[in-house]
Amino acid sequence: MQEKLNELLMDFNKMNKEFDELYHKVASKMGISDSAFSIFYTIYDLGDGCLQKDICYEFFANKQTVNSSIRKLVQEGYINLKQGVGRDKHIFLTEAGKQFVEKYIVPVVQKENAAFTALKEEEQKELLRLANIYMESLREELNEL
């Protein structure tokens, strides 16, 4: 039985890596890095004015990687930064950034919605329920290391 569980876990892990690869290919087609994709996606999701730490939190992204990508997107004219409280800087899309999001990010979100709503509502809830159970269990197990 243990061997079968390992095979199933390997299949599950492979699927997770395939999700990552799908989004990597999408970002590559857009001509941007994975972290730039995450930044645009988060700004679209949370709205203009979100903070770097919001992006790190939403995508479990490394602070240094996000910071480097933000600086590059500022240089390329896609975003502007405005000083917030303390060291916080709010991130805003420029006109070029808004056009990029409309052209590239909005269609991705629409495709995600279409794929998710292909599942029945009960299936959507069950998928999330099981994924949350697994994540909590994995978090507890890994915290023991």
- Round to whole Å and give the CA distance between 100 and 103: 5
Give the domains, in start order, of the chain with CATH numbers. Answer: 2-143 (1.10.10.10)
Q: What's the CA dihedral at 78, 83, 87, 91 to 10 degrees?
A: -30
| CA–CA separation, 9 and 138 (whole Å) | 12
Q: Quick check: 72 and 79 in contact, CB under 8 A?
A: no
pLDDT in tens, 62-115: 889 889 999 999 999 999 999 888 888 899 999 999 999 999 999 999 999 999
Name beta bridge partners: 80: 92
Split at pLDDT 50, 70, 90, the class of 61 is confident
Q: At 5, is the pLDDT very low, low, confident or very high (cuts 50, 70, 90)?
A: low
> What 3-state class would DSSP assign to 119?
coil
CB-CB neighbours of 60 under 10 Å: 7
Residues 6+ apart with CB under 8 A from 104: 30, 40
> What's this model's pTM, rounded to 2 decimal places?
0.88
